[in-house]
Amino acid sequence: MAGAGDIGLWTIPVAVLGGAVRVSTPFLFVSLGECITERSGRINLGLEGTLVMGAMAGYGISYLTGSPWLGVLAAGITGMGMGALHAGICGLPRVNDIAVGIGLMLFGVGLAFYLGKPLIEPTAPRLPSIDLGWWTDIPQLRAALRINALFLIGVALAPILLWALRTTRWGLIVRTAGESADAALAMGYSVNLIRLRATMFGGFLAGIGGSFLSLYYPGSWNEGLSSGQGITAVALVIFARWNPMLCLGASILFGGAAALGPALQSVGFSHGYHLFNAAPYILTLLIMIATCSPKRTLIGAPAELSITR
């Protein structure tokens, strides 16, 4: 490597930057969706299953129709269905939402592997990327700045959701259901219906996050596609204090952590590669240790949420 391509140790931060943008997108979509679901007072731990189902459905529809964007839509609708299933079961009296989430995680992963068996071989059209690095000659930087439109949509969605939660009537209803089911009931709203819609919205976004995995990065469908991004994103919402803008920041941080291993490998530092793969999970754990407390409930936690009570 010589000349314009040789940027020495700068390769690592540039690769981490590019990786952070790529890897953070599924985190971003899942955590934004889960943020809304949790603000309505219910936790959906099944998003890992939703993510994998979305990845499978997106890939399948993209392969069948030739349009990756139709695949993204199909992934969202699939995720919405999974969300409706979770909310429908949790709407029954005396059913535990955390346990149902675990059940749906296993169910979604199993179903996606079953239905996705014929999709491992074929190659589906992938999502295009937007070249934001036209101004530079450094190939590594250019590669890092080749960004997917879904990432930009997610970045735009975060402030919109924050605004919607804070100022719109719809946001107020969701927050009321999350803070006090009785208050929502007294206002004449069905708590189950609010949570059904919030969970379906969360599932929709998680499904889209899954389609990013199969249609952009890594960009193929196989059974090892997701390794806990869904559940990490649920933890990330807690870290982000149920605030969509903080979800955005946290997702990029996590994406950077996950990109560290491949970035080091790209400069030939491959010792302990697998340990670096654990970085996002270790980071999640450390952050939860640092921010949780046994004595008080978390600031910003919806009062109806079973996970913080």
Residues lying near another protein in the complex (CB under 8 A) are found at 45, 49, 85, 89, 92-96, 98-100, 102-104, 106-111, 113-114, 117, 223, 227-228, 231-232, 234-235, 238, 271-275, 277-278, 281-282, 284-285, 288-289, 292-295, 307-308
Question: Between 20 and 305, whose beta carbon lies closer to another protein?
Answer: 305
Q: Which C-beta is closer to another protein: that of 5 or that of 110?
A: 110
Instruction: Please report where in the chains the tokens 């149902």 appear, as a residue.
Output: 100
Q: Which lies closer to another protein via its Cβ, residue 85 or residue 158?
A: 85
Q: Which class for 121: exposed (0-12), middle (13-18), buried (19 or more C-beta within 10 A)?
A: exposed
Contact yes or no for 170/184 (Cβ under 8 A): no
Smallest separation, CB 97 to another protein (Å): 10
Can you tell me which residue has the tokens 């997917």?
A: 148
Least distance between another protein and beta carbon 56 (Å): 11
Q: What angle do CA 259, 83, 239 make, to 5 degrees?
A: 45
**Min CB(271)–another protein separation in Å:** 8
- Closest CA relative to residue 264, chosen from 27, 26, 24, 14: 14
Nearest approach, Cβ of residue 209 and another protein (Å): 17
Three-state DSSP state, 275:
helix
Nearer to another protein, 76 or 261 (CB): 261
- Using CA atoms, how far apart are residues 120 and 59, in angstroms rounded to an integer? 10
Whether 243 contacts 162, CB under 8 Å: yes
Find the shortest distance in angstroms from Cβ 18 to another protein.
22
* Beta carbon nearer to another protein, 98 or 143: 98
- Closer to another protein by Cβ: residue 11 or 44: 44
Shortest distance, position 96 Cβ to another protein, whole Å:
7
**Omega prior to 118 cis, within 30 of 0:** no
